[in-house]
Chains A and B, each alone.
Chain A
Amino acid sequence: MAQAATAAVDEHGHTSTGVSNWKVGFWTFIASECLFFGTLISTYMVYKGRAVVGPYPDEIFDVLHTTISTTVLLFSSLAFVLALHAVQNARKKAGILWLFFVIAMGAVFLYMEGTSYLKYIDYGLTLGSSTFGSAYYVLTGTHKLHVILGIVWIGALIWLLFRDRIPPAKSEQVEIAGLYWHFVDIIWIVIFTLVYLIQ
């Protein structure tokens, strides 16, 4: 048993799977996040069209506005993968610059979604106004909390890159943060379709 445990990671950090334990652990975390968001999406879909008081989705959603914020988030994913590519190829400055773009686009996404929230509240849709309001704000609000956490994480990466604490050999730190950011993007792709486009 002890031998099997020591064989799993050798003295160079190589594992029997060929992938670092951090990466395996993070993919497992992402799989569990699928279930977490699955429950929130299920709740929204169950209550969809069952609200007895307005405002209703087709009365308030601005699809063009959300399309722009969705595209911004998609391009932030592109910026992140370019940042990782730069860090892996020892281009630290380019990596930092791309990560700044990711934070900027994440902030633009949050600002645009924030203005949408204010508009919906003006229309009378709040967390307690109807089942639609509760399910909508909990689902999209949880996603926005993930975006905020991602921005903080990327900020920490930029700080570490500035201090030369992430050489190309340790670029996996950036890659794992990227897995998180891309997953947040994937969840928004699903929300955009199920909540905004299929009404």
Chain B
Amino acid sequence: MSTDATTHAHEGAEHHSHPSASFYVWIGIILAVVTGVEVAIFYIEAMDAYEAPLLVLLSAAKVVLVIMFFMHLKMEPRFLTWVFMAGVVLATFMVGALMVIYHVLPRFGG
């Protein structure tokens, strides 16, 4: 039973095909363009009100592109995504909790 599971898993892994070189170049170009948009948002004063959320969103999009395609997480078994996400979720929770403790609660006398 375990041998069957091993074989099937290995066959499944072999079926993952990586994208072509030109696909990677396109991802690189998209990353550069998004970086340009981020810097434009930074300099355009009219965008000041939406600056922080927009920049965080664009930055997150860049991170997802690198992880999915350059690190091939999209082509790997799903459990690797869970391994990685465990670290990301814990780190995000920690940063968020500290921001609340030091920047939000003091405004309410906390």
- The residues of A with any CB-CB pair to B shorter than 8 Å are 3-4, 7, 10, 14-19, 23-24, 27-28, 30-35, 37-39, 41-42, 45-46, 63-64, 67, 70-71, 74-75, 77-78, 80-82, 85, 88, 175, 178-179, 182-183, 185-186, 189-190, 192-194, 197-198
Interface size on B, residues (CB 8 A): 55
Find chain B residues with CB under 8 A from A192 CB: 38, 59
The answer on a CB contact under 8 Å between B91 and A37 is: yes
Give residues 4-46 of B contacting A (CB, 8 Å): 5-7, 9-10, 12-13, 18, 21, 24-25, 27-28, 31-32, 35, 38-39, 41-43
> Would you call the interface of chain B mostly helix, strand, loop, or mixed?
helix
The answer on a CB contact under 8 Å between B10 and A193 is: no
The answer on a CB contact under 8 Å between A31 and B87 is: yes
In angstroms, Cα B78 to Cα A18, docked, is: 11
Chain B CB count within 10 A is highest, among A39, A63, A67, A189, for A189
Give residues 68-110 of B contacting A (CB, 8 Å): 69-72, 76-77, 79-80, 83-84, 86-88, 90-92, 94-95, 98-99, 102-103
Pick the residue among B63, B70, B86, B99 that contacts A81 (CB under 8 A): B70
The answer on a CB contact under 8 Å between B42 and A78 is: no
Q: Could you name 6 residue pairs across A and B whose Cβ atoms are closer than 8 Å?
A: A14-B6, A23-B80, A42-B94, A63-B39, A70-B35, A192-B59
In angstroms, Cα B24 to Cα A77, docked, is: 10
Find chain A residues with CB under 8 A from B10 CB: 14-15, 18
Q: A41-B95, A74-B31, A75-B32 are in contact. Are A16 and B87 (CB under 8 A)?
A: no
In angstroms, Cα B71 to Cα A157, docked, is: 18
Pick the residue among B12, B39, B76, B90 that contacts A67 (CB under 8 A): B39
Pick the residue among B27, B38, B55, B91 that contacts A38 (CB under 8 A): B91
In angstroms, Cα B66 to Cα A82, docked, is: 13
The answer on a CB contact under 8 Å between A34 and B91 is: yes
The answer on a CB contact under 8 Å between B77 and A35 is: no
Q: A42-B95, A197-B38 are in contact. Are A18 and B77 (CB under 8 A)?
A: yes
Find chain B residues with CB under 8 A from A27 CB: 80, 83-84
Contacts A18-B9, A35-B91 supplied; 10 other A-B pairs, CB < 8 Å? A7-B2, A14-B9, A18-B13, A34-B88, A34-B90, A42-B95, A42-B98, A74-B31, A178-B70, A198-B56
